[in-house]
Structure 1
Amino acid sequence: MVAHDRYAQMPSLLAGGSSPVFLMQMTPLIVTSALAYCLAQGVPEIEATTLRKVRVLDAALATVLVAVVVLVSLSTGIVADSQEATMTGRNTLFLTGLMLLARSLHDQAASAVPVGWVFAVMFAGYRDFHRPWPWAVTLHPANYVPTLALCLLVFGTGLAVHIRTRRT
């Protein structure tokens, strides 16, 4: 809540000058990195022989965690009247989905991909001041429905891939 309106001017690689980067754009990285760390703590040999569906339980953990973040970000956005705070929940959906997709390819990529995405958006996400590129979904306004739909799709795909992928 403290960081909802704080920003820094960062140099833009594609647009002339600088672009504002709100600190709230970084907060989903706390969630995705912590979740990636928790998911990496499992032992594949034990998980493969257990009767419990560990991958489904991991997906439930991710879903509950993201749901809590969405509720907190919506509450913070309403209380502080901040669009940036409201966007945090949607961005957490997207970045968690990316993290789960990356984790299915390589465990170490799970934390790196969301961080890389955020930094790419920070330095190359704006066409010009306050006009983000279509691919820079974490910069789109909170009330933009196509971006919300894309974030839900990425999160759902990440969960589905996570459940179906076997760890080696």
Structure 2
Amino acid sequence: MNLWCTVRRVQAVLLPALTAFVVVVVVAHDQYIRLPALIGTSGNQVFLMQLAPLIVVSALAHGLGQVVPEAEGTAQRPIRVLDTALIGTLTGSAALAALTVAVSAGSPEASMAGRNTLFLTGLMLMARRIHEQAATAVPVGWVLAVTLIGYRDVGRPWPWALTLHPAGFLPTLALCLLVFAAGLTSYVRPRRT
């Protein structure tokens, strides 16, 4: 178990990333920046909560990418089960922390960070199924795309730009949970060789 924690960088990378995520959500839950838009004449108002999930998702992609095939192939412990528990615990903790900040600070934007963490983790896990080394690029690419072309008008995101939708929009939450579940399922299923 200690070897698995060390290889997956739980103490060295994942816990500090979760801590950094929580600090960013607590400090900047209502802060936004204005970024240029490729569509439209005005810039896009982007809450920092749109970018905060990348802290957790990128760290998780890094941790899951640290594989020792020789040791894991002969391991007595179920590595996929441990990895699945790690994914669920990390993303669940991030979502719970964001929801706690949203309720205590009265800031719905903070809960968007938790929802978006689940969505981007699902994307990352599905991308790992296709190409493991590029899995981190998919969530980052998604965030860049919605930041630059995700708005059809000022404050009105396109339907496909899920991470920009308002925090209380239940269909978006359901879709984000569905993407997370699909990503987790694709990760758990063994690959054919």
TM-score w.r.t. length of structure 1: 0.95
| Aligned counterpart, 1:136 | 161
SS of equivalent to 1:17: coil
The answer as to 2:30 corresponding to 1:5 is yes
| Aligned counterpart, 1:106 | 131
Question: How many percent identity over aligned positions?
Answer: 60
CA distance in 1, matches of 2:72, 2:131: 17
User: Cα RMSD (Å) of the superposition?
Assistant: 1.4
Is the Cα contact below 8 Å between 1:16 and 1:128 reproduced in 2? no
- What aligned pairs does 1:60-71 form with structure 2 within 5 A after superposition? 60-71=85-96
Post-superposition, which runs of at least 4 consecutive aligned residues in structure 1 deviate over 6 A? Answer: none
Is the Cα contact below 8 Å between 1:4 and 1:85 reproduced in 2? yes
Is the Cα contact below 8 Å between 1:44 and 1:167 reproduced in 2? no
CA distance in 1, matches of 2:88, 2:192: 20
SS of equivalent to 1:72: helix
- List runs of 5+ in structure 2 lacking aligned partners: 1-25
Is the Cα contact below 8 Å between 1:14 and 1:124 reproduced in 2? yes
- List runs of 5+ in structure 1 lacking aligned partners: none
CA distance in 2, matches of 1:167, 1:28: 31
Q: Partner letter of residue 104 of structure 1?
A: R
- The structural deviation recorded for 1:17 is 1.4
| Aligned counterpart, 2:143 | 118
Residue 96 of structure 1: which of 104, 113, 121 is its match?
121
CA distance in 1, matches of 2:75, 2:40: 53
Residue 81 of structure 1: which of 106, 113, 127 is its match?
106
For residues 55-94 of structure 1, what are the alpha-carbon distances to aligned partners after superposition, in whole Å with 9 as ceiling and x for unaligned?
1211110001111111100111112211110111100000
Structure with higher RCO (Cα < 8 A, 6+ apart): 1
CA distance in 1, matches of 2:172, 2:56: 20
CA distance in 2, matches of 1:119, 1:47: 35
- What aligned pairs does 1:155-166 form with structure 2 within 5 A after superposition? 155-166=180-191
